[in-house]
Structure 1
Amino acid sequence: MTPLHPVAAAPHPDPYPFYAELVATRPFYRDASLGLWVASSARSVRAVLSSPVCLVRPRAEPVPRGFGELASGALFRQWARMNDGPFHGVVRRGIGALIERWGAMRGVDARARARRLLSECSLQEWVFWWPVHSIGGLLGLPPGVLPEVAAWTGDLVKGLAPGAEQDVVLRGGLAAERLRAEVRSALEAQTARGSEGGALAFLMREVGLPGDSAVDAERLVDVVVANAIGLLVQTHDATAGLIGNTLRALMREPTLFAEVAARPALLPQVLDEVLRYDPPVQNTRRYLAEDAVLEGHTLAAGECVLVVLAAANRDAQVHHEPHRFDIHREQPARLSFGWGAHGCPGEVLAKSLAVGALEVLLATDLALHREAFADVRFLPLLNGRVPLLPSVRLTSQEVE
């Protein structure tokens, strides 16, 4: 069955023929049933994401009404990715510096911890928990609290989802309070001992550099704590989706699975193609700050554009044979991490986490569970394509 509209497409078993029809016949149009403009071609997606009048939140509603008064709303208000202007630039720069710093840390090997966690839970649970454990460890949170941090992050993510039931929203608000307390405690510990190596203390120094007026001293701690939690939130579904969609691609092609299992150095290429072919983030939204003309259409201030990144990734004007999975493409040229001022700075980090996770999984008896992947379904998300992987238990085949 074809998706009814672009918002229903993300969790559909195969939304890509529908996306192809959009790109070919309606690259930029207004969907009357949704009350949204829709950008689907690579050109229209770039035009919207690079337009200075297209904001990440409507000015009249910086925080969604459903959780605006909860701790989850307070976090949302401070996230750089949900803000425009000088504040976004300052905090984004700090987060980018932190991620770059992590990339230079070659001596940390989390493989043993990943295997240990995998021995304690199913694959379905692990793909969500392990990325959060990884980021929590990089932030300097105590190892003993990481299982709770992963559970709280999951509750917060569910509570932020549009249309979430009230009890789920409230649970997310409570999780936000607990996460905020835990991260603040870790930040205080790092700053108290003057730790040069503490990630949270580093982020605080980067965001609060002298001469920056976008973040004042009183607000600085709240901003650092909120955006550290934002990294946990972003990695929970998106990285799980990247790992899961990569596993699905490998399970579909036994020859490719065998090749990659024998040569894990191919994983970055595989991930690049999965991010183009079947990305975990399918769409995002932009809100018009003023009247504007985009792609030949006049849009009014306050209107919303649904930006279908996954459709643009299969635009035949950009990619040769876009519906063929090919890990040897020379230039992925994809839009999975956005475009313009709000392009996600975490691409290298996300791919690094996914490579590490897949190396651990490929060194298990995963190949014996191929049949369990035959009917994988997706979480009912409006913008994410995150598979609910089989609840199988895997056994490591690595020699300790």
Structure 2
Amino acid sequence: MHTPAPPASLLLALRPRTQERLYDFYDELRSAADLFWDRRLDAWVATGHAVVSSAAGDPRLSSVRYPDIEAVSEELRPLARVLSRQMLYSDAPDHSRLRALLSKAFTPRAVAVLREKISGAVEQIITHAAPTGRMDIVADLARPLPLTIICDLLGVPEQDRDTLSSWSGPIAAAIGSSRLDADDNRAASQSMTHTLAYLRALLTRQDTPPPPHTLRALLTAHTENTDQDFDELLANCALLLIAGHETTTHFIGNAALALLRHPDAADQLRSRPELIPAAVEELLRYDSPVQLMLRRARHELELAGRTVAAGQVVLLLCGAANRDPAAFPDPDVLDFQRPGGRHVAFGYGPHFCLGAALARLEGAIVLEALLTRLPALRLEEAPLQWQRSLNFRGLTRLDVAFTPPSVNHDSGTLTMATHRRPAGLGHASSST
């Protein structure tokens, strides 16, 4: 009797050639099993939409990433101590308490106030790049835009933002890979230490009051009127800072690449701008910036017909779940009118992404700008390179070309030949 071969290890996704065909690789994993034991990772890997979505909200599975800090390598231990206090890696009641505090800054109404600021930032970036006819969408747009917005929310002075961004890179790398060396882990821990020190100084400074309606103002008022553990608060501010721009950066880059590779879909959005909110959801499903969620079994349990032992790790592959044909017919097709189906790019259950409304709004505004402000936008002939991560999916750069503005010789001014500006974009995209 023929015994089917066990699925390949998820670690193969770290190879550059696998990144190029990542969703084909996920199909191979899913066709073998929707939940399988990965010996190299010493963890269960869930690939099917049904098991991923159900497990994400299953109270029998814990979100705690580092249950035993002392078991972590010495170089990574300082980072692990901070991550263990963040709501992303916490369970109720701590998770519920922290989320209730920070969610006030990310309600649809609070996010809607940012529309003008986001639009202005995008316009400034594109106006600066327009005369050249060239842009690296990652470096010139996808990275600075969400960094600007989350730093505005935290009240971070403009001159400090590049430094904070440089610290987030090593931290994101450590979160996204279990195969970093001691130097990488040490760099991640040091970056987190620098980030916390900066945020402590920012939130406690007395010389400059926090700008009104910012997250800094909300947090300052909260700490003055409660017994909030300040170190815990700092840890979660660091989470917002890093997650608030790293994941949105990847989403913008991935979405732009998808449209460049599917010109018919891009033309559809130009002619039917009312589809942009739906396009944001479909692009999140199609190439998710966050590829997996980690859970740990509180006790022995049954999951998708398998027995998961107490303490074992379960990796929930959001990227694979979002291409599961059982949940999304023709999942490799980019369809902005796709009926039904709920993607898990923002997670699922209690840990659903706190910044989802903000990411949706930023995505909608960027899509509108790319489609209307950069005529004949096209992909440059350059090899694509993905960041080496199991957790995050994002390009290191995305070089594009477009028609630069022409000179009006009578007036001496520059004019950009654009499509008509779509009306009413973004309003539906700010809702969760």
TM-score by length of 2: 0.78
Structure 1 residue 125 and structure 2 residue 134: aligned? no
User: Partners in 1 of 2:404 and 2:147 — Cα distance?
Assistant: 21
Is the contact made by 1:124 and 1:389 (CA closer than 8 Å) also made in structure 2? yes
Change over 3 Å in CA distance of 1:263–1:140 after alignment to 2: farther
User: Partners in 2 of 1:141 and 1:326 — Cα distance?
Assistant: 39
Which of 2, 10, 13 is residue 20 of structure 2 equivalent to? Answer: 13
Counting only pairs closer than 5 Å after superposition, residues 1-400 of structure 1 correspond to structure 2 as: 4-9=8-13, 12-56=19-63, 57-61=65-69, 64-65=72-73, 67-70=75-78, 72-100=79-107, 102-106=110-114, 108-117=116-125, 119=128, 122-126=136-140, 127-160=142-175, 161-189=177-205, 193=209, 196-203=212-219, 216-217=227-228, 219=229, 221-261=230-270, 264-365=273-374, 367-372=376-381, 375-391=383-399
Q: State the 1:68 CA deviation.
A: 4.3
Q: What is the one-letter code of the residue matched to 1:123?
A: I
Change over 3 Å in CA distance of 1:107–1:236 after alignment to 2: closer
3-state DSSP of counterpart to 1:110: helix
Is the contact made by 1:245 and 1:280 (CA closer than 8 Å) also made in structure 2? yes
Q: State the 1:263 CA deviation.
A: 5.1
Change over 3 Å in CA distance of 1:231–1:350 after alignment to 2: same
Q: What is the CA deviation profile of residues 99-137 of structure 1, one whole-angstrom value per residue up to 9, with x for unaligned ones?
A: 115314156423343454564884332322321222111
Q: What is the one-letter code of the residue matched to 2:384?
A: V
Is the contact made by 1:337 and 1:343 (CA closer than 8 Å) also made in structure 2? yes
Q: State the 1:139 CA deviation.
A: 1.7
Is the contact made by 2:321 and 2:344 (CA closer than 8 Å) also made in structure 1? yes
Q: CA RMSD in A?
A: 3.2
Q: State the 1:189 CA deviation.
A: 4.4
Report the more deviating stretch, 182-191 or 48-57: 182-191
Is the contact made by 2:88 and 2:351 (CA closer than 8 Å) also made in structure 1? yes
Q: What is the one-letter code of the residue matched to 1:82?
A: Y
Q: State the 1:303 CA deviation.
A: 1.1
Is the contact made by 1:284 and 1:309 (CA closer than 8 Å) also made in structure 2? yes
3-state DSSP of counterpart to 1:298: strand
Is the contact made by 2:174 and 2:184 (CA closer than 8 Å) also made in structure 1? yes
Is the contact made by 1:58 and 1:288 (CA closer than 8 Å) also made in structure 2? no
Is the contact made by 1:54 and 1:287 (CA closer than 8 Å) also made in structure 2? yes
Q: What is the one-letter code of the residue matched to 1:231?
A: L
Match of 2:430 in 1: none
Change over 3 Å in CA distance of 1:73–1:192 after alignment to 2: farther
Q: State the 1:74 CA deviation.
A: 4.3
Q: State the 1:37 CA deviation.
A: 1.5
Q: Which runs of 5+ in 2 are unaligned?
A: 1-6, 130-134, 406-413, 417-432
Report the more deviating stretch, 357-366 or 42-51: 357-366
Is the contact made by 1:273 and 1:326 (CA closer than 8 Å) also made in structure 2? yes
Instruction: Give aligned pairs, total.
Output: 389
Q: Which runs of 5+ in 1 are unaligned?
A: 211-215
User: Partners in 2 of 1:103 and 1:369 — Cα distance?
Assistant: 31
User: Partners in 1 of 2:26 and 2:322 — Cα distance?
Assistant: 10
Q: State the 1:67 CA deviation.
A: 4.3
Q: What is the one-letter code of the residue matched to 2:213?
A: G
Change over 3 Å in CA distance of 1:385–1:367 after alignment to 2: farther
User: Partners in 2 of 1:108 and 1:187 — Cα distance?
Assistant: 26
Q: State the 1:15 CA deviation.
A: 2.5
TM-score by length of 1: 0.84
Identity of aligned residues (%): 26
Q: What is the one-letter code of the residue matched to 2:113?
A: M
